[in-house]
Amino acid sequence: MAESPVKAFVCGHPVAHSRSPLIHRHWLASHRINGTYEAVDVAPEDFASFLRSIGEAGFRGGNVTIPHKEAAFSLVDDADDAASKIGAINTVWIDNNRLIGTNTDWSGFAANLDAAASDWDRVESAMILGAGGAARAILYALIKRGVPDIRIVNRTRERADALAEEFSTSSASRITVFDWSSLTNALRDAEMLINTTSIGMDGNESEVPDLEPLSSAALITDIVYVPLETPLLKAARRRELKVVDGLGMLLHQAVPGFEKWFGVRPDVTAELRNLVIADMDNGQ
């Protein structure tokens, strides 16, 4: 009898626009693995029962996306240090009947920069724009990689203060919060700028901060990848600063999950990147 396929999922609400099925199915096909990866739309009120019954449904594990990442953290049997500090889970699997979760957004961010701008983590200072869920994962990555001077600027200052306070206690990095109106000071001589906000998602350049105060060797990255070249990245390119787009983070965050469920560590290739870009160009 043929062995049944290993099953994995991505759940979100909505989930139809998730690129994860495209990524994981590409890897399943290129490694000739007998496996499936399906998108499951789960409403918030149904999420707890969905997650607790994935084993019964025959899944080995899966990805959790918006709006369920924080809820997943409170539902798993075990979470690692990254998931606990970030307070959100995007990857789960079953191990000995226990539901285990981790967060690969931070490692996807770091792995993308490792591939696109090696030695990025030797910077002295980095500025994070934003203080939401994505910013938590980026802050964790910067601390983990030992960036000494981390600055946070958020439209709502209180959220940045809370984030800095929470992470400062367990960090060797100095974390400083600046007012939104002091953005220029926060950027002064910074060697790295990471946008975690939705600024520029609509292609609007008017909200992009003036990049003049940044170090001329600065690296600019955006976790937004639609459009692929955000107004921030466009402005940085015009100033001839180093630029890394956010699509690589999406691709790299998928790697540990695939390895957990299907037993093969997949590569992030130009072919995969082009596949996702073609899908984005189709407006799907």
Ranges assigned E (strand) in the chain: 6-12, 35-41, 59-64, 78-79, 91-95, 98-102, 125-129, 149-153, 174-178, 192-195, 219-222, 242-244
Question: In whole angstroms, how close is the CB of 163 to ligand ATR at the nearest point?
Answer: 9
Question: In whole angstroms, how close is the CB of 95 to ligand ATR at the nearest point?
Answer: 27
Q: Which residue in 23, 82, 92, 131 binds ligand ATR (CB under 6 A)?
A: 131
Q: Which of residues 153-192 bind ligand ATR (CB under 6 A)?
A: 154-156, 159
Question: In whole angstroms, how close is the CB of 156 to ligand ATR at the nearest point?
Answer: 3
Distances (CA, A) of 9 to 4, 57, 279: 16, 11, 19
Question: Half-sphere exposure (CA, 13 Å, Cβ side) for 47?
Answer: 22
Instruction: Give the binding range for ligand ATR (CB under 6 A) out of 102-110, 131-139, 186-194, 247-255.
Output: 131-139
Instruction: Give the binding range for ligand ATR (CB under 6 A) out of 124-132, 232-240, 250-258, 266-274.
Output: 124-132
5 binds ligand ATR (CB under 6 A): no
Q: Are 108 and 246 in contact (CB under 8 A)?
A: no
- Catalytic residue (choose from 69, 85, 144, 260): 69
Secondary structure element (H or E) that encloses residue 137, with its range: helix 133-144
67 binds ligand ATR (CB under 6 A): no
CA–CA distance, 127 with 142 (Å, rounded to integer):
10
> Binding string to ligand ATR for residues 206 to 235, with x set by CB under 6 A, is what?
------------------------------
Question: In whole angstroms, how close is the CB of 83 to ligand ATR at the nearest point?
Answer: 15
Question: In whole angstroms, how close is the CB of 141 to ligand ATR at the nearest point?
Answer: 14
Q: Which of residues 187-206 bind ligand ATR (CB under 6 A)?
A: 196-199
69 is catalytic: yes
DSSP 8-state assignment for residue 56: T
Size of the site for ligand ATR (CB under 6 A): 14
Distances (CA, A) of 268 to 40, 208, 246: 24, 30, 14
Q: Are 247 and 273 in contact (CB under 8 A)?
A: yes
CA–CA distance, 101 with 84 (Å, rounded to integer):
10
273 binds ligand ATR (CB under 6 A): no
Between 18 and 196, whose beta carbon lies closer to ligand ATR?
196
The two structure tokens encoding residue 30: 């290129």
Nearest-CA neighbor of 225 among 120, 134, 117? 134
Beta bridge partners of 9: 38, 62
Q: Which residue is nearest to ligand ATR (CB)?
A: 132
132 binds ligand ATR (CB under 6 A): yes
Which residues contact ligand ATR (rule: CB under 6 A)? 130-135, 154-156, 159, 196-199
Instruction: Report the catalytic residues.
Output: 69
